[in-house]
Amino acid sequence: MVEVDLVVVGAGPTGLFATYYAGFRGHRVAVVDSLPELGGQVTAMYPEKMILDVAGFPAVKGRDLVAGLVEQAATADPTYLLARTATTLEHHDDGVVVHLDDGTRVSAGAVLVTAGIGKFSPRALPAGEGWLGRGLEFFVPSFAPYAGKDVVIVGGGDSAFDWALHLEPVAGSVRLVHRRDAFRAHERTVQQVRDSSVEILTRAEVTALHGAGALESVEITVDGEPTTYPAQAVVAALGFLADLGPLQEWGIEVRKRHVVVDSAMRTNLPRVFAAGDITEYPGKVRLIAVGFGEAATAVNNATVAIDPTAHVFPGHSSEGNQS
């Protein structure tokens, strides 16, 4: 049994900032995440990507943002319970108990769910069966392994174009393959890729991977005509299948795979709050910057649930530095 004041489910940017803020409010905090590392989707999917919409940072690399958040969260001296999944929730008069899949129980005064899109798994590349780790990858956590290689990126979203843009000066060649003429990626990034040396193939799909042991070439079919290109790496950026998993069994109100909250970040369950991309309410905007504000709102309102004598407004952090 782990006993704390607040248990945060999700260790992405919103969860890490909530952890810091809970410490600022004087709470003992435990953080649960199904991934083995801190940082959530940022660490798993785009640690090298430059993030442009975080206040105070004209541009910040994903891994650097996470490092700063982890350092900030450390002031709360949190208990990290990583590579574990929150399964069931028990309600008591004075708190809750969250059960984890490894048998750990976390007793707390309140729960804050910051699980992003929930547990996620990449969409498979049909032609890539058996090639994962042998030239096929779903994430690009580091650009160095692609130095000098012929790289094929499959997809038309932000991740595909971001990786194409960042790998272009590193790789020997980059081809981006998409089955349609239209792209889901941000127009500015699409234009940057068009202006680069990246070859964009539309109405196309990767239909075969070839190589003796390691990947050597790929077959790309455009308008029904197959052509073989040299390739030592394929990145399948086809999106992800998200699943709220056991959270849905808690009785929490869910709308279109998102948790419904009010203006205080309260869910329909007592002592259960939510913040970040996982939440849904009128006018919701899914940005990291928004998640930070929601985290502070959620923690301050959870504080009253944990201690009914406390105030929602904590005062300004700068006031503690005044003599």
Domain boundaries, the chain: 2-120+240-321, 124-236
| Under-50 pLDDT residues of the chain | 321-323
pLDDT of 120 reads 64
Phi and psi at 302, nearest 5°, equal: -65, -30
Greatest extent of the chain over all pairs of C-alpha atoms, in Å: 75
% of the chain with per-residue pLDDT over 70: 96
- The DSSP 8-state label assigned to residue 143 in this structure reads S
Note the CATH number of domain 124-236. Answer: 3.50.50.60
pLDDT of 100 reads 96
Q: What is the DSSP string of 257-305?
A: TEEE--TT-B-SSTTEEE-STTEE-TT----HHHHHHHHHHHHHHHHHH
Are 2-120+240-321 and 124-236 the same fold in CATH? yes
In angstroms, the Cα distances linking 195 to 158, 187, 190, 282 are 16, 12, 9, 38
Note the CATH number of domain 2-120+240-321. Answer: 3.50.50.60
- The DSSP 8-state label assigned to residue 224 in this structure reads T
Buried b (16+ CB within 10 A) or exposed e, 20-30: bbbbbbebbbb
Please answer whether residues 69 and 10 qualify as being in contact, where contact means their C-beta atoms are separated by less than 8 angstroms.
no
How far apart are the C-alpha atoms of 236 and 208, rounded to whole Å? 13
Q: Is the pTM of this model over 0.85?
A: no
Annotated binding site: 14, 33, 41, 46, 86, 120, 277, 318
Annotated binding site for FAD: 14, 33, 41, 46, 86, 120, 277, 318
How far apart are the C-alpha atoms of 20 and 15, rounded to whole Å? 9
Q: Which of 58, 44, 48 is nearest to 166 (CA)?
A: 48
Does the CA dihedral 194-125-234-207 come out positive or negative? Answer: negative
Spell out the residues 6+ positions from residue 104 whose beta carbon is closer than 8 angstroms to its own.
1, 2, 81, 84
Spell out the residues 6+ positions from residue 161 whose beta carbon is closer than 8 angstroms to its own.
176, 183, 185, 186, 189, 190, 192, 193
What mean pLDDT is reported for the chain?
92
pLDDT of 68 reads 97
How far apart are the C-alpha atoms of 29 and 81, rounded to whole Å? 11
